[in-house]
Structure 1
Amino acid sequence: MFEVFKKELLELVRDRKTLFFVLALPMLIFPVIMGLVAFLGSQAALKAEQKVHTYYIVNEQNSEQFAERVFYHKSFKKYDGKHQFLSIEDLKQAVQSGAIDVGIYLEADPTQTIEQGEQASWQVVFNDAQSINFIYDRLKSIANELSDSLREQALVALGVDKSKQAAMLQPILVSKVDTADKRENIGEKLGAFIPYLLIPLVLMGASYPAIDLGAGEKERGTLETLLLTPVTRTQLVLGKFLTVLLSSLACATVTVLSMAIWVSVAISFVELDTIKSAFSSVTGVDFMLIFALLVPIAAIFSSLVLAISIYARTFKEAQNYMAPLSMGVFLPIVISLMPNMVLNAKTALIPVTNVALAIKEIVKGTVDYGLLSMIVLTSIGLAALLLAFCVRWFSKETVLFR
């Protein structure tokens, strides 16, 4: 078995393409993804923040104060075209055609409606399909400032002192006391996406060598020679399995180390104190726990991809089988993102989903070590079953020479 393992490992080390995908890519993927997302996000936010929007107000006479505040706001410029827009439909067409960015319809004068005990209904017409859009929030903020001023004047006219207006408008003030710390709050939001990077990379680390050790041997015609050696089928499978597992674990090790390094780098450079204080509490033990969860997952993937590779006739056919497998791995990860999906005794038995949930709990700092042990044992049991199936698969002549 170990002679087969050494032989396959030597061939794996000589394959530069496989080494790149197993070792180099995991080291590069985290800084590239983090840097690209941060750069694109900051650029998009900066562009949206600095953009000046063309506006048109219908019935401007209903609130000259509002119109004046919008006119002098740095984010808006008044429409200077020749067309006139008189209704909501006109504003919609103008926005859709690109003549204006936002239209504002002032249906009534708030100084008059407030005396009648009614609300003035205003409408903002704009395209809200953009991912980052400050139009509505800025206009609403201007309207709220004016609304607060009118309300204060109306209450003073009714004889209500300014110091008592807050209590009258909101007699009960409810505030929340959150028992979760910053790490748990941020970990709940960001920790769920870490498995999206880790688990597929572990599968990738097993797929490339497995294809070559199974379908590649068939295509090169070296499998028959290997079967003539005085080694049992079980030993042959175990030797190949150990090679694939080592490749997958190497990918997992490099991935976790890369994540740890780049998280520490991000913490040292990021200016957000909340994120810095949250992730600074993620220790080396936490990263070791994440790696410990990835080991049985690597064994599961190694057994599965080796069985698929043994079944495939050619290298290309094996690659075709790996594509739907890669897509299938994302399904249990997506399940872990579903609302109210938490790690418990039931979800700890769901393959891949349990690891994704456990990684999130580790990042949050709320991991249950009993459930963690259950996940490891369950994953090891599943990996053993798949390995036994792979040995049986390899023992069938109809599979090896189909």
Structure 2
Amino acid sequence: MFEVFKKELKELLRDKKTLLFVVALPVVIFPLLFAVMAFISSQAALDADQKVNTYVIINGEYAQEFTDKVFYHKSFELYKGSKTFNTIEELKAGVTAGDIDMGIYLPSDAKQTLNDEKQSKWQVVFNDSKSINFLFERVKELAKEYSDNLQKEQLISFGIDMSAHAALLNPVDVIKVDTADKRENLGEKMGGFLPYLLIPLVLMGATYPAIDLGAGEKERGTLETLLLTPITRTELVLGKFLTLLTTSIASTTITVLSMGCWVALALAFADLDVIKTAFSSLAVTDLLMIFVLLLPLAAIFSSLALAISIYARTFKEAQNYMAPLSMGVFFPIIISILPNMELTAKTAFIPVTNVALAIKDIIKGTVDYTFVGLIFLATALIAGALLAFCVKWFNREDVLFR
């Protein structure tokens, strides 16, 4: 078995494709992709924040103070074209045609409607389909300032002292007292996304080498030679399985170490308090626990990938079979980030989802070690069953020589 393991490992290390997926991608390409994505996102947000938007206000004289604030705001520029806008429909048509970025319709005098004990309803017309859009929030902020001033003036006219305004407008102030510490809060937000990185990498570290160890052997005609050696088929499968398990764990380990180095490098050149708070509280035991949880999961993926590769007749056919496997792994991860999904005695037995939930709780610092034991036991049992199936699969002539 170990002779097969050493032979397969040597062949994989000589294969440039394997080195690319197991080493190069985790060390360089993935961190580079995340950096590019972060840069593009921040640049898009910065551009949206600095963009000057063309606007039109209908009946601006009803709230002159508000109209002046919009006029002098750095993000807005008054429309100077030849078209006229008098109704909501004309504002919609102007935004759709791209003549203006935003239209504001003031239907009535806010001061007069307040005196009449009514509410003036303003309408803001803009295209909200863009992913980053600050228009509405900025208009709301300016409108709130104007509305607060109207409230203050009205209360003063009633003879109410300014010191009583806050209590009168907001008699009950609900204060949040959070029992969760910073680590738990950040872990809830960030811990759910860490499995999106780690678990697919565990799968990827097994699938690409598996294609070569099964279907690749068939195409090269070396599978028959292996079967003629004085080694049992069970030992052959176990040797190939150990090879996939090694590459799977190696890919994940290299990725985690690489990300740690990149995060440390980023912290050395930038003051990122959120990242510092999230990762500084993680102990070595937490990282080891995550690693231990990923071991049986890597065994499950290695067994599945090897069984698929053994069944496939060609390299290309094996690649086609691996795509649904990859998609099937993402669904349990998605389940783990659904609202109110927590690690319980029931969810501890859901494959992949249980590991994703456990990783999130480890990052939060609220993990229950009993559930960790249940998860390890459940995934180990599934891995053992799949490995037994893989051995049985390999012993079938109709599978090996399709």
What TM-score, normalized to structure 2?
0.97
Partner of 1:149: 149
Determine whether 1:170 maps to 2:176: no
Q: Distance in 2 between matches of 1:150 and 1:218?
A: 81
Letter in 1 for 2:167: A
CA 1:175–1:377 in structure 2 vs 1: closer, same or farther (change >3 Å)?
A: same
Partner of 2:43: 43
Partner of 2:105: 105
Structure 1 residue 269, shift from structure 2 partner: 4.1
Determine whether 1:248 maps to 2:243: no
Matched-pair identity in %: 64
Q: Distance in 1 between matches of 2:309 and 2:273?
A: 49
Partner of 1:288: 288
Partner of 1:373: 373
Structure 1 residue 270, shift from structure 2 partner: 4.2
Q: Any gaps of 5 or more consecutive residues in structure 1? A: none
Determine whether 1:398 maps to 2:402: no
CA 1:358–1:33 in structure 2 vs 1: closer, same or farther (change >3 Å)?
A: farther
Structure 1 residue 277, shift from structure 2 partner: 2.3
Letter in 2 for 1:66: F
Q: Distance in 2 between matches of 1:324 and 1:274?
A: 36
Letter in 1 for 2:281: S
Partner of 2:337: 337
> Contact between 1:66 and 1:143, CA under 8 Å: does it hold in 2?
yes
Structure 1 residue 207, shift from structure 2 partner: 1.0
Partner of 2:114: 114
Determine whether 1:197 maps to 2:188: no
The 3-state SS of whatever aligns with 2:191 is helix
1:222-371 equivalence runs, <5 A? 222-371=222-371
Letter in 2 for 1:282: L
CA 1:269–1:189 in structure 2 vs 1: closer, same or farther (change >3 Å)?
A: farther
Question: Which stretch has the larger CA shift, 35-44 or 380-389?
Answer: 35-44
Q: Distance in 1 between matches of 2:267 and 2:368?
A: 26
Structure 1 residue 133, shift from structure 2 partner: 1.1
Q: Distance in 1 between matches of 2:273 and 2:346?
A: 37
Q: Distance in 2 between matches of 1:134 and 1:116?
A: 33
Partner of 1:32: 32
The 3-state SS of whatever aligns with 1:114 is helix
Structure 1 residue 274, shift from structure 2 partner: 4.1
The 3-state SS of whatever aligns with 1:120 is coil
CA 1:274–1:253 in structure 2 vs 1: closer, same or farther (change >3 Å)?
A: closer
The 3-state SS of whatever aligns with 1:63 is helix
Structure 1 residue 194, shift from structure 2 partner: 1.1
Give the number of equivalent residue pairs. Answer: 402
The 3-state SS of whatever aligns with 1:160 is coil
Q: Distance in 2 between matches of 1:298 and 1:354?
A: 14
Q: Distance in 1 between matches of 2:208 and 2:312?
A: 14
Structure 1 residue 327, shift from structure 2 partner: 0.9
What TM-score, normalized to structure 1?
0.97
The 3-state SS of whatever aligns with 1:108 is coil
> Contact between 1:4 and 1:236, CA under 8 Å: does it hold in 2?
yes
Question: Which stretch has the larger CA shift, 266-275 or 165-174?
Answer: 266-275
CA offsets 1:370-402 (integer angstroms, 9 cap, x no match):
111111111111111001000100111111111
Q: Distance in 2 between matches of 1:255 and 1:374?
A: 26
Structure 1 residue 30, shift from structure 2 partner: 4.3
Q: Distance in 2 between matches of 1:248 and 1:140?
A: 51
The 3-state SS of whatever aligns with 1:124 is strand
Partner of 1:386: 386
CA offsets 1:222-253 (integer angstroms, 9 cap, x no match):
11111111111111111111111111111121
Partner of 2:81: 81
CA 1:298–1:236 in structure 2 vs 1: closer, same or farther (change >3 Å)?
A: same
- Give the CA RMSD over aligned residues: 1.3
Q: Distance in 1 between matches of 2:132 and 2:83?
A: 29
Q: Any gaps of 5 or more consecutive residues in structure 2? A: none
Letter in 2 for 1:374: L
Q: Distance in 2 between matches of 1:103 and 1:303?
A: 60
Q: Distance in 2 between matches of 1:256 and 1:264?
A: 12
> Contact between 1:26 and 1:251, CA under 8 Å: does it hold in 2?
yes
Structure 1 residue 192, shift from structure 2 partner: 0.9
Determine whether 1:67 maps to 2:67: yes
CA offsets 1:134-184 (integer angstroms, 9 cap, x no match):
111111111111111111111111010001111111111110001111111
Letter in 2 for 1:361: D
The 3-state SS of whatever aligns with 2:125 is strand
1:12-23 equivalence runs, <5 A? 12-23=12-23
